[in-house]
Every structure is written in C-alpha cells, then in structure tokens.
C-alpha cells in the first residue's frame, strides 16, 4: 500500500532540471530514505542515485537532478536500499515549469499598451504570455493572456500610474498535467508611457504639488493681511502724529541753489528784497483848511497856470515836491499831466484819471 499512497511533487524546470519532493517527516518519521531515478526504457534500466538531496530537519525530503529525456522512472527505498517504498513512471514533459520571460518590452500608443518578450527555444505552442496590471486605485490585479509572446490591452488612463508584471504559462491539459507558470518578471511602473521607479513617485509629486499650492496661497494671504494692517497703521499715524513738512520742499532754492547754507541764502534773499522795494511811495496828502483854499481861489489865474505847467513837468520827473504840490494846489477847470496820469481840476476838487 505504500507505493500508491506517497504524495510527491514533480517539477521540470524548463526541461533542464528535475525536482521531486515528498513529505519525509510524515511518511517516514523513523527512517531516512534513499532516492534513485532513470530515463532509460526497456528491461535494461540503469538506476542512478540522487546527486543532490533536499533536506527537512536532516531527513531526505527531495532530490534535484538533470533532465535527460521525456520518460522518467523514480524509486524511493529504505535507507540501506534493500526495500522499495515507492516507485512511479511519468512523462517529464508534462511537468514543465517555464522560465521567466526574457527581454520584456512595453509599447505605448495613446491608451493602448502592447507587451512582448523573446520566444523560448522549445515548445512555444504550449506557452501563453500573461499580463497583469493595476493602478494605485485598484485593489486587485487585472489579467490578460495571449499567445506567446505578445499581449495587448486598451483603456489605460494617462493620468494614472500603473503597475505591470508578466509571466509565461503552460497550457493544461494539452501540454501539462499540472498548471505550472513561470515566476513573475520584475514589476514595472508606468504612467502615460513613461517608466517610473514606483507609483509612490506619482503620489509624492501630487502631494508636493498640493503642499506647494497651499504654501503659495498662505503666503498670498499673509501679504494681503500685512497690506491691510499697513494701510490702517498709516491712517492711524496720520491722525495721531501729523506729518512734519519737509523744509527741503518749502525752501527749494535753499537746498538746490545753496546746498543748505542758510546764511548765504538769507543774505541773497534780503538783497533781493531791497532791490524790489518800490522807489516811489505815494506821499500822504495833507488837506488844508478851508480858509487856505479860499485864499488860493482868489489867486491870479495866470499864476495858477504857470504853477500847473511847472507841476506837470516836475511830475513827469517824479519830483516828490510836485506830488506835494498836487495835493495842496487848488483845483480848477484845468487838466494837468502827472506821472503818466491826467488830473482834472475843477473848482475845489481834483480828479486823477
């Protein structure tokens, strides 16, 4: 009953190496068994001992040896080899586990990606290329399978970062009795046709953008608050402490012409005031008594005219005495010329025109 009860695991690594394992501690708890194999057929079989044992707590739990043909026979015996505990014949080609895909390339065109790899040397018809992908928003992998050695998929969002991984699978049951697939090729990360180190870079870039915008808005808000406070402070300062006028603008010539030399500026200013002082000042007219005016009325008419004539000539020469005479002289129906003005004399009044 032992020969049919032992459960073994058989793997043919890409038709290059065979690995056969068994549960040593469960099946043979008190004995360290031995293993032998042969790829020969017919009556004249040459059994070979296991070249490399796999151990489980110092007990033989498996054997690793080279694949030498399509037909394999194995035998598990007692430690001294006297008793056969398990034997089996099998087709090694039905237990092939392919190697990882080699030279994987990604071709992007808009929202479509095509993944391809090099074709293996053997049994290409039995192989399928499997593509799995997911975005940072997906929990589970999406899977697509196609003939070796190219697979394509559409509908990728250029704004998302995707993780990709590929492997080769053997067809069951046409080529394998066990569903063996290769190990996954190294995972890659893509966004809009650009290879990234990881999708965390995309998350970091978005977080950095959010942080930058937040800081920028905060700075703008602080500048606005400072401007408002500055305007209010200037209004308060003007109301509490009025601005003192700057003498630089009130006395522009003091600073522009004399470089702030006050003594030089005041002397020139005083000199200019003296020069601009009027040479002629209108004397104050003295009003004579009425009796004196009546005497002047009775004076000789000819004498008046001579006086007027002399007065006119003296007035033209800006003679102060003429002015005094003009104030004192009696008026008559005579017009005299005085300093560019005309004086109408009529009886007791004179009018300057």
What is the rounded distance in angstroms from the CA atom of residue 112 to the CA atom of residue 154? 4
* Phi-psi region at 217: left, alpha or beta (left = phi > 0; alpha = psi -120 to 50): alpha
20 pLDDT above the threshold of 70:
yes
Q: Of 101-110, 284-293, 340-349, which one has max mean pLDDT?
A: 101-110
322 pLDDT above the threshold of 80:
no
pLDDT value, residue 352: 44
Q: How many residues does the chain have?
A: 353
pLDDT band at 74 (very low <50, low <70, confident <90, very high): very high
Mean pLDDT computed over every residue of the chain? 76
pLDDT value, residue 257: 67
Of the chain, the percentage scoring pLDDT greater than 90 comes to 29
What is the rounded distance in angstroms from the CA atom of residue 93 to the CA atom of residue 71? 8
Asked if 115 contacts 164 with a C-beta cutoff of 8 angstroms, the reply is yes
150 pLDDT above the threshold of 50:
yes
What is the rounded distance in angstroms from the CA atom of residue 104 to the CA atom of residue 116? 6
Asked if 161 contacts 191 with a C-beta cutoff of 8 angstroms, the reply is yes
Do the bridges between strand 96-97 and strand 8-13 make them parallel or antiparallel, or are there none, so unpaired? Answer: parallel
The average pLDDT across 186-205 equals 78
pLDDT band at 344 (very low <50, low <70, confident <90, very high): very low
The average pLDDT across 223-238 equals 81
Burial zone of 324 (CB within 10 Å; 0-12 exposed, 13-18 middle, 19+ buried): middle
What is the rounded distance in angstroms from the CA atom of residue 190 to the CA atom of residue 163? 7
What is the rounded distance in angstroms from the CA atom of residue 215 to the CA atom of residue 212? 5
Of residues 65 and 295, more confidence is placed in: 65
For the beta carbon of residue 111, count every other beta carbon within 10 angstroms: 13
Q: From residue 129, how far is each of 109, 140, 148, 153 by CA, in Å?
A: 20, 19, 5, 13
Asked if 178 contacts 91 with a C-beta cutoff of 8 angstroms, the reply is no
User: E strands, 23-102, where?
Assistant: 34-38, 48-49, 52-56, 59-66, 71-77, 84-91, 96-97
What is the rounded distance in angstroms from the CA atom of residue 339 to the CA atom of residue 343? 10
Q: From residue 310, how far is each of 281, 284, 307, 343, 351 by CA, in Å?
A: 21, 21, 5, 14, 19
Q: What is the distance, to the nearest Å, from the Cα of residue 55 to the centroid of all Cα atoms in its chain?
A: 59
Beta bridge partners of 144: 131
Q: From residue 291, how far is each of 121, 294, 295, 299, 330 by CA, in Å?
A: 157, 5, 6, 13, 12
């Amino acid at each position: 009953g032992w020969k049919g009860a032992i459960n073994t695991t058989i793997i043919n690594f890409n038709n290059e190496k065979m690995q056969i394992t068994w549960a040593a501690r469960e099946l043979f708890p008190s004995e360290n068994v031995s293993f032998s194999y042969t790829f020969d057929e017919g009556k004249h079989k040459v059994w070979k001992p296991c070249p490399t044992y796999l151990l489980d707590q110092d007990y033989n739990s498996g054997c690793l040896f080279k694949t030498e043909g399509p037909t394999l026979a194995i035998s598990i015996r007692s430690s001294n080899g006297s008793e056969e505990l398990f034997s089996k014949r099998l087709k090694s080609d039905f237990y092939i586990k392919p190697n990882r895909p080699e030279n994987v390339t990604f071709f992007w065109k808009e929202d479509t990606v095509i993944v391809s790899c090099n074709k293996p040397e053997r049994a290409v018809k039995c192989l399928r290329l499997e593509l799995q992908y997911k975005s940072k928003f997906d929990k589970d992998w999406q899977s697509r399978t196609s003939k070796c050695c190219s697979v394509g998929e559409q509908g990728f969002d250029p704004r998302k970062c995707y993780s990709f991984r590929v492997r080769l699978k053997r067809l069951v049951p046409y080529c394998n009795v066990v569903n063996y697939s290769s190990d996954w090729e190294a995972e890659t990360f893509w966004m809009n046709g650009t290879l990234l180190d990881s999708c965390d870079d995309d998350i970091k870039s978005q977080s950095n953008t959010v942080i930058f915008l937040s800081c920028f808005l905060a700075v703008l808000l602080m500048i606005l608050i400072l401007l408002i406070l500055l305007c209010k402070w200037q209004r308060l300062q003007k109301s509490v402490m009025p601005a003192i006028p700057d003498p630089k603008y009130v006395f522009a010539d003091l600073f522009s012409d004399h470089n702030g030399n006050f003594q030089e500026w005041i002397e020139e200013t005083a000199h200019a005031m003296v020069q601009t002082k009027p040479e002629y000042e209108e004397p104050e007219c003295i009003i004579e008594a009425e009796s004196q005016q009546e005497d002047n009325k009775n004076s000789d008419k000819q004498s008046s005219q001579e006086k007027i004539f002399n007065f006119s000539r003296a007035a033209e020469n800006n003679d102060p005495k003429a002015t005094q005479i003009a104030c004192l002289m009696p008026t008559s129906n005579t017009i005299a010329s005085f300093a560019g003005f005309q004086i109408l004399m009529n009886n007791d009044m004179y009018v300057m025109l």
